[in-house]
Amino acid sequence: MSGIGSAVRASRIGRVLLRYRLDELLEDTAARRWLGLMRPFVPRASADIAAQPRGARLRLALQELGPIFVKFGQILSTRRDLVPPDIADELAQLQDQVKPFDGEQARVIVEQALDRRIDEAFAGFDTVPLASASIAQVHAATLHDGRKVVVKVLRPGVEKQIDADIGLLKSMAAVVERTHPNADKIRPREVVAEIETTLAAELDLQREGANASVMRRLWKDSPDLYVPEIFWDYTAERVLTMERVSGIPSDDIAALDAAGIDRKALAAKGVRVFYTQVFRDNFFHADAHAGNIWVDPQRRQDPRFVVLDYGIMGQLSAQDQYYLAENFMAIFNKDYRRIAELHVEAGWMPATVRIDELEAAARAVCEPYFTRPLSEISLAEVLVKLFRTAQRYELTLQPQLILLQKTLLNIEGVGRQLDPQLDIWAVARPVLERILRQRYSPRRLLREFGQRLPAIVTRTPDMPGLVHAWLQQQVEGRHELSMRSKDLEELAQTMKGMQRRTVAAILGAALLIVAAVLYGLDAGGPQWWGVPASSWIAGVGGVWALLAAWPRR
């Protein structure tokens, strides 16, 4: 996206915010002052909009701005401890009540994606959508064998809209990178790249189907989580067909109570399922808002979640998995020294940081929480505050952890809605302890060693020769140290450029001197095309010297 395109998009965002009178929510901020400059050029809000409560105006504005902003609203709706209830209630409607697109258009998209007529693929296809979200909408259908399914269809033009928003985010990241004093720690370009990768995955429905298939296999026959079946013969990049399931949205407390669901048991299961996905499977559902998390109405005393929408899944490196799990255990045990050591060991912070100072900072963050009942403590909030505090000690923001933090906030939000007295610490701790015992048990380590043994055996015959070659280099003084560094590479390129310019400048100056000598010796010397040779040489020398001095990028 060009700079002009980004400016146009930013201007449109500003106009939408003003049209829905959302500048009122930005009191005493630079953003409100910036919006104030635009106000004379934006029509006044209509009477209908002016009459709407602030939550409704925010919801409508986010819908108008597109998928990225709708996603932001969905996340906010689950954080009732951060967002006023009136706004949270309105934003909750963004889960599956975004304005739908025409059903006939959806039918055409399905036919093009599956390369067959709709009546050949399905015995019945309802053009009125069951639900409509920011990136796709869902239609009920029936297979020719009578099985009930739902067909998820990407919105037309959604890729172009997301590309435009990502372009704007990249432009903003570039500005932050140039102007923010801690840009090297925030790493805005990498953060935007992570968002771009996540959304790209969500736009590929065949990939979403594969995610759901893996999750279904991992949780097969589980009493805690049900994953619908994917029908691959009716699935493509822009169309996904899956088993139709029923359930109660996890935030519909009245409906859950009417169905006799044990909400306390359900909330505890939600926490256990999340930590199991992260630390046992390393494959977690990362779009866990209430619109995607339903409850099986048939299971009252032993409730089970029914999870939808597998477009955004999270995975961590083995190293990040280990250090996160250890961080959680250190928080549970109030071991602030261990928290400080883990941040450095993980490479999130430079080794030059003083451990005792970081330990004191971690203690200052965590201790105030432990004066409260554990049921009132948010583990996600503690983790986020720890990261914020660590940023003062040169914490490097890890983009791969952003998705996990967001999901942890969502899960806690859903859990606290189901059971306001949920003791997340008491539920999460035994899960983590059990998983860590299993993961680093002697049996598990022996099994992993056995899996890697063929690779070790394959390389073993080469080792004596490699060791001999290295020792011979040391004895003969032929050992070379090879270093790779972006800064050193840029410096080398700069030096090469300076050398080239210096040589060119010397040559240009030499040509000027030759021209001067010729002119001085014989003003009537040779002429080329009616112009003295000395003038030609002087002109070439001058241009050459000018080009040599001109800075190159």
Output the furthest CA–CA distance in the chain (Å, rounded): 111
Question: What H or E segment, with its residue span, contains residue 527?
Answer: strand 527-528
Contact 297, 309 (CB under 8 A): no
Which DSSP symbol is given to 23?
A: G
Angle at 260 between CA 256 and CA 264, to 5 degrees: 70
Contact 424, 377 (CB under 8 A): yes
Beta bridge partners of 150: 140, 242
Catalytic choice (23, 96, 165, 287): 287
Angle at 32 between CA 26 and CA 35, to 5 degrees: 135
Contact 95, 291 (CB under 8 A): yes
Report the Cα–Cα distance between both ends of the chain, in Å, rounded.
22
Helix-strand-coil split of the chain, %, nearest 5: 65, 10, 30
Give me 512's structure tokens.
Answer: 């000027």
Beta-strand pair 531-532/527-528:
antiparallel
**Residue 287 a catalytic site member:** yes
Give me 354's structure tokens.
Answer: 């003083």
SS3 state of residue 124: strand
Rg (C-alpha) for the chain, rounded Å, is 31
- Helix ranges (DSSP H) in 304-354: 318-332, 336-345
Beta-strand pair 305-307/225-226:
parallel
Closest Cα to residue 505, out of 552, 553, 551, 542? 542
Q: Tell me which residues are annotated as active site.
A: 287
